[in-house]
Amino acid sequence: MQKYYGYRHIVPTHQGRGAENILSQILIKPGDYIPGNMYFTTTRLHQELAGGTFVDVIIDEAHDAQSLHPFKGNVDLQKLTDLIERVGAERIPYISVAGTVNMAGGQPISMANLRAVYQLAQTYGIRIILDATRAVENAYFIQQREEDYSNQAIATILHKFCSYTDGCTMSGKKDALVNIGGWLALNDYNLYEEARNLIVIYEGLHTYGGMAGRDMEAMARGIEESVQDDHIRARVGQVEYLGQKLLDWDIPIVVPIGGHAIYLDAKRFLPQIPQDQFPAQCLAAELYLEAGIRAMERGIVSAGRSKETGDNYYPELELVRLTIPRRVYTQAHMDLTAEAVEEVYYNRDRLRGLKMIYEPKYLRFFQARFELQ
């Protein structure tokens, strides 16, 4: 972790949300604000449980499924400055930046943008904490799309990218190619000491953080393999293969094609279903019925409710994520998936909305149950 991500101090955790819990407990006080480039489900919940309020400062293009901006994960510096001026730097414990933004469709943030955010944050004395879960994929897009980086190795770009942040949370289940595991990294020794102390309450000893020794060994190897240029090109290439097929058939997906998944645009796919009847959830269910494909709703169900008013959020993006696990599927699986999506698209007019009949209090998308309207 230190070699490839470059952070000074690391504590292992059982998975990414374990790191988010510890980080939020250490840094966030009730009444604080945490700006970020779009929310992530578990990250925002831990921020809220610690008494903070998440504020979305991603560029507007990120909320538009059809915008072709090459770095839709970028932070809008004006939105960030406005927030800092409005609430004061002392109420912002850190800026929460994600590499390839999941909820926007796996969209990257540019090196230039992160550097600018870092410079701005430094002038106000605010930390940046990276969600490094898919930072390797982000490095790949920087190599492909950003001037100055086309000749640099993924490992070099990743290291530089992380150097513009003060720490990270990590879900090893994604870029790092393992079944379970994660970590929290911090450059500040005093924060690290606090984290190391909390780990023994919530995760396990600071030497293993809830992971078995063999899982730690696997993650160490996974990190090493994940930053190989050939690996990451093949990985993102498989995602592009599926996406390009769907684009060729005029099936509405988020563009540009992202790093880890294809996102079906349920708003355009099922325009007859209003958002409060869960079009993306409906589409995910239909894909499962059609071909046994397990997709993930990333729309109104995932967005949840405002912690202040209890009302549903109505996100601009109403998506179904077809996430591609690393090193699991063949091209034939991609073909089958594309054909199943095409079949559902062909029959889309007969689909009806859903009713939520069970809603858990937290992270409802994991356990909610639905019925046909």
Name the residues that contact ligand PLP, by CB under 6 A: 15-17, 40, 42-43, 98, 102, 131, 133, 171, 173-174, 182
CB contact at 8 A, 132 and 168: yes
| Nearest-angstrom CA–CA distance, 311 and 323 | 29
CB contact at 8 A, 1 and 132: no
To ligand PLP, the closest distance from the beta carbon of 141 in angstroms equals 15
To ligand PLP, the closest distance from the beta carbon of 27 in angstroms equals 16
133 or 152: CB nearest ligand PLP? 133
Q: Which residue is nearest to ligand PLP (CB)?
A: 16
CB contact at 8 A, 31 and 91: yes
179 or 331: CB nearest ligand PLP? 179
To ligand PLP, the closest distance from the beta carbon of 172 in angstroms equals 7
40-79 CB burial, b ≥16 within 10 A, e <16 = bbbbbbbbbebebbbbbbbbebbbbbeeeeebbbbbbeeb
To ligand PLP, the closest distance from the beta carbon of 130 in angstroms equals 10
107 or 171: CB nearest ligand PLP? 171
To ligand PLP, the closest distance from the beta carbon of 20 in angstroms equals 7
CB contact at 8 A, 162 and 175: no
To ligand PLP, the closest distance from the beta carbon of 13 in angstroms equals 8
To ligand PLP, the closest distance from the beta carbon of 15 in angstroms equals 3
Q: Are strands 182-186 and 167-171 parallel, antiparallel or unpaired?
A: antiparallel
32 or 137: CB nearest ligand PLP? 137
To ligand PLP, the closest distance from the beta carbon of 176 in angstroms equals 10
